[in-house]
Chain A
């Protein structure tokens, strides 16, 4: 039997678990930038619930009103490009989104997401997933199922796993007395 691609994600989505049941997708295109996720004029806000009220404002206005906990954002290439504002993944967290699936992610958004407890999932076939599709994630087995079709997903980089396991960077940092500099 072929070895399964196992992606052990444990505590990043403690409320809903890594598998989003009965969730729907919100589909976006390529190069969705952080200005689209949360426009600059709302950056004085630091509270995720408040930020969520303005998520995708001007880009997709019905999103903030209709998003439900467990819903999944699906993007194309280079999702989250642009600014380093952590307000972007926080605006998703505030709406109960724990997972973003995309063909590829911009670097800072990818890292910020993991740090604040949103799981960025790389799926080369993300473009095939429809808007509003019923989506189920099986991170352990390494696939997502959207409208009954299965798509493979890539494992999270190894060095991020410790942070995911801890439940985000804050929790990870709490357990650290010091950082052994230049350790690998």
Chain B
């Protein structure tokens, strides 16, 4: 019987045919908790009568939102979580590795065909590996930690097929902003979005992660890319697994099929205060910015920083604005460092921080004042997301961010 990739994942795990719409208590291959939602999850685990977690080896803990601790409360939360990790024998990456989603994938904690949950909405990013991964709240995570299973309504799938050829300086972020604009902020609620087609097959893992990361911005339960040679190559050294076939059958039942051709796609910018507001950069070019942030789980990988560096060339970042660059993880940081890009960024006038969420969540540092404008490669531009509710956040690609950081206003990366 034909099935979508998501239906196949649930069917494989449960050893029986499962279709979208069914509710199952599915076994989990992995779970991730971080410093913001982790303390509550642990509290709930205990309230549920939890004593030992289901399997310490399948749980990953790390701190990324407020590191190094930016307040006594944050420090306290870290202490609480460290103690839990120690007592339960859970591997705690603490403050050392970077943004949770990047680290989870890098460390091989999500793999093709697996079911993984994270106490963070952008957990859907792990779908780039061909896993079914979804963000959950802390109480659900408490349950997951205790039982190693969680009830799911198996989602229907929206199949987004992408063809054409990316124009120069246009990439995965522009594509996903365009898709979000097309599908809308709640157009994929309760559904999975499967990215496929010639363009997706050619995309590197970094680009696939950018796509899947933002499935939640359309309300999606998961984003997913069927594993292929690129995926299995990436998994090497991270997981001992034999490659296997996993893809939607062409005649599977999809909620919808949508197709996109990127050949004429312009760099996209999502304007305040919603993510589905993407417009071509030409519509907002010239808008003054006060702060540019290049980083986050959406676009903080080496490939993103390399693109920013290429746009920068021999130029300098505008001294009139703040340019903050944060690699998403220690691995990405090291790659960027070895390529000489950190030095380049610092010399060009950027503030380069150690791997963490940075200004993305507006919780720790890099907040904006009332009336200020932030241009960011992250995934959310909600009112107040990066500081004052009277500030504005625009979202764009690393190339557009770099171009704009040079001029101090929103700028088409093809024009610098």
Contacts and interface: CB of A to CB of B under 8 A. Distances in A.
Interface residues of B, number: 63
Interface string B170-208: 000000000000000110011000000000000000000
A104 B186 contact: yes
Interface in A43-63: 43-46, 58-59
B25 to A, nearest CB: 5
A77 B24 CA distance: 27
Contacts of A2: none
Contact of B73 (A40, A45, A168, A170): A45
Nearest to A33: B382
B376 interface: no
A168 B139 contact: yes
Contact of B25 (A46, A111, A182): A182
Interface string B376-401: 00001011110011100000000000
Nearest to B23: A159
A35 B384 contact: yes
* Interface residues of A, dominant DSSP: loop
A83 interface: yes
A102 to B, nearest CB: 11
Interface in A105-161: 106-108, 111-112, 115-116, 157, 159
A159 B388 CA distance: 40
A35 B221 contact: no
A1 interface: no
Nearest to B184: A78
Given A36-B382, A84-B136, A184-B23, A31 B44 contact: no
B147 A84 contact: no
Contacts of A168: 139
A182 B26 contact: yes
A176 interface: yes
Interface of A: 31, 33, 35-36, 39-41, 43-46, 58-59, 77-78, 81-87, 90, 104, 106-108, 111-112, 115-116, 157, 159, 168-170, 173-174, 176, 178-184
21 contacts: A33-B380, A35-B362, A40-B361, A41-B362, A46-B43, A78-B186, A78-B189, A81-B186, A84-B119, A85-B36, A86-B139, A90-B40, A104-B186, A107-B221, A108-B135, A112-B139, A116-B137, A173-B49, A182-B14, A182-B25, A183-B25
